[in-house]
Homo-oligomer: A and B are copies of this chain.
Amino acid sequence: MPKFKFGKEAGIFLLLVVLCVVVTVMNPRFLSPINVQNTARLIGMFGILSLGLAVVIVTGGIDLSVGSLVALLGALLSIGLVDKHMSPVVVVVGVLLVGAGLGLVHGLLVTRAKLQPFIVTLCGLLIYRGAARFVAEDQSKGFGDSAGFMWLHDLAVGNFLGVPWPFVIFAVFAVALGVLLHKSVYGRYLYAIGRNPEAARYSGVNVKRVETLAYVVAGGFTAVAAILFAFYTNSISPSSHGNFYELYAIAAAVLGGFSLRGGEGSVVGVVLGAILLQILQNLVNLLGIPSSLNFAVMGAVILLGVLADNLVLRRKQA
């Protein structure tokens, strides 16, 4: 729904509040500045991925290549900066361009070659993972002490007035995307295409161009997140870096009210979804729940969340 109504996001917002209260009661350190900072940083990074994906999901598409792309771009970043000693600005711009460029390729394959988004980006998932391992020669890549691009490192992992940079970037992106999706003509067309591409075409919307652009945006956002992740871990093992991140990103969007059939969901929803997912992970550690149950807790809460949303608030999304 391009017009934003808070009703749809009320369910997840409630869940989030309840969860925060419960965790705080069980371990007050949850609200300690350092923990808030840590969590905000992770929210920022994963949230940027989710925002990008949300744009694609609105059109009824999907992007499974996100995790592998994070690995490939991270490896390229390290190679450019450390192995090739290239100028940080050039490398960053290069990485962003590669991300957006691969998004463009996805978009063209979907709109021009008429392939299913699932299959295009599944191939992306496989190919970029392989490419990451290949360019990194199956070595883990890192940034050492970041000599020569300390500012970049700080931008990724440092704080701005006490707020982690990734969170700041996430917030800015969220606002920008909110305006784009909910206020601009482009956003309206995205929702139109997601709901009924025929109707959009009948009304003279350049469906192919609009849809392609969605993948480009997703690729660009992924690239930004990839840079942040790379500096955050400071080590990119090409075979596992970013594994399953696409699922987190998709989960955040769906939790936030997006339908994978397209044409539904708001930026506020994704933001809440992204926050909820990271708080869940934080909670597992803070409450001392065995790590082996990490995934299970996440899955269970997501399921309960959407169930409560559907049953209690009687929202139908099937």
Contact = CB atoms under 8 A, between A and B. Distances in A.
A38 interface: no
Interface string A115-155: 11011101111110111011001100000000000000000
A60 B160 CA distance: 46
A306 interface: yes
A101 to B, nearest CB: 16
A76 interface: no
Contacts of A311: 113
A310 interface: yes
Interface string A224-239: 0000000000000011
Given A123-B299, A303-B123, A115 B310 contact: yes
Number of copies: 2
Given A118-B260, A260-B118, A247 B310 contact: no
A126 B292 CA distance: 11
A306 B109 CA distance: 11
A300 interface: yes
A130 B299 contact: yes
Contacts of A318: 110-111, 114-116
A294 B138 CA distance: 12
B113 A295 contact: no
Nearest to A318: B114
B250 A122 contact: yes
A303 B120 contact: yes
Contacts of A109: 303, 307
B295 A115 contact: no
Interface residues of A, number: 52
Contacts of A111: 318
Given A123-B299, A126-B298, A299-B125, A115 B292 contact: no
B310 A114 contact: yes
A277 B169 CA distance: 41
Interface string A264-305: 000000000000000000000000001011111111101100
A254 interface: yes
Given A109-B307, A126-B299, A133-B293, 9 more contacts: A64-B247, A110-B318, A113-B307, A116-B254, A119-B302, A123-B303, A127-B300, A130-B296, A134-B290
Interface of A: 64, 109-111, 113-116, 118-120, 122-127, 129-131, 133-134, 137-138, 238-239, 247, 250-251, 254, 259-261, 290, 292-300, 302-303, 306-307, 310-311, 316-318
6 contacts: A115-B307, A116-B260, A118-B260, A123-B299, A123-B303, A126-B295
